[in-house]
């Protein structure tokens, strides 16, 4: 990203030659040279606009991804609402990983770059997606523990009998010891 996504003027020049029928600039007719110059100017101005714009988009994506991961990792769920909030941040982090993948794919399709350089980044993004999905799956264990403890607070069984499981004991809900 900092090296202009691997954009190379030499590779851009080769791309222009292919569009000119494989001829060098000197081999073109005067009209061909005019078209070549216009196309070259168009492509260079596009690259001058596109690269900073795409750099900003990728940097924004990386910032959002980092914020979501840190936010989700800072929540230690003790109730269902906290677990839901953590899951939302994990989902947003996954979304940013997919967005990053799309931004890099867009860059590959738009600029004349070496695709092999992007393979490494794509593999690292896929690894992060796998890790975040595993993290979400591990959180399902918390969900079971939290829901079981909430369900055991006040049980009603299938024949209609209910119990409070010691809700008024000092180890359950905090009792009110105020004297009137």
Helix axes of 80-110 and 30-73: crossing angle, nearest 10 degrees: 170
| pLDDT at residue number 37 | 77
Residue 41 banded pLDDT, cuts 50, 70, 90: confident
What average pLDDT does the structure give for the chain? 76
Q: Using 50, 70 and 90 to split pLDDT, how confident is the model at 69?
A: very high
CA 4, 126, 105, 53 torsion: positive or negative? negative
CA nearest to 58, candidates 6, 127, 134: 6
Q: Is 77 exposed, middle or buried (0-12, 13-18, 19+ CB in 10 A)?
A: middle
Q: Residue 62 pLDDT more than 50?
A: yes
Q: Flag the least confident range among 11-20, 24-33, 47-56.
A: 11-20
Per DSSP, 160 falls in state S
pTM for this predicted structure? 0.63
Predicted local distance difference test score (pLDDT) of residue 170? 46
Inter-axis angle of helices 30-73 and 9-19, to 10 degrees? Answer: 130
Most confident of 19-33, 50-64, 129-143: 50-64
Q: Does residue 79 sit in helix, strand or coil?
A: coil
Structure tokens at 144: 């079971």
Mean pLDDT, to the nearest integer, of 39-59?
A: 81
Q: pLDDT category, 78, cuts 50, 70, 90?
A: confident
Contact 90, 135 (CB under 8 A): yes
According to DSSP, the residues that pair with 155 across neighbouring strands are 163
Q: How confident is the model at residue 38 (pLDDT cuts 50, 70, 90)?
A: confident
């Amino acid at each position: 990203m900092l090296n202009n996504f691997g954009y190379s003027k030499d590779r851009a020049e080769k791309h222009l030659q292919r569009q000119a029928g494989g001829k060098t600039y000197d081999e073109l007719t005067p009209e061909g040279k005019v078209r070549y110059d216009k196309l070259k100017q168009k492509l260079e101005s596009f690259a001058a606009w596109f690269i900073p714009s795409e750099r900003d988009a990728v940097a924004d994506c990386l910032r959002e991804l980092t914020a979501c991961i840190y936010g989700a990792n800072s929540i230690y769920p003790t109730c269902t609402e906290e677990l839901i909030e953590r899951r939302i941040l994990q989902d947003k982090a996954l979304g940013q990983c997919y967005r990053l993948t799309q931004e890099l794919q867009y860059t590959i399709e738009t600029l004349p770059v070496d695709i092999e350089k992007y393979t490494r980044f794509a593999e690292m993004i896929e690894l992060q997606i796998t890790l975040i999905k595993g993290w979400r799956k591990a959180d399902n264990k918390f969900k079971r523990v939290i829901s079981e403890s909430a369900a055991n607070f006040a049980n009603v069984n299938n024949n209609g009998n209910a119990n409070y499981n010691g809700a008024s004991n000092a180890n359950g809900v905090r009792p009110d010891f105020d004297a009137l």
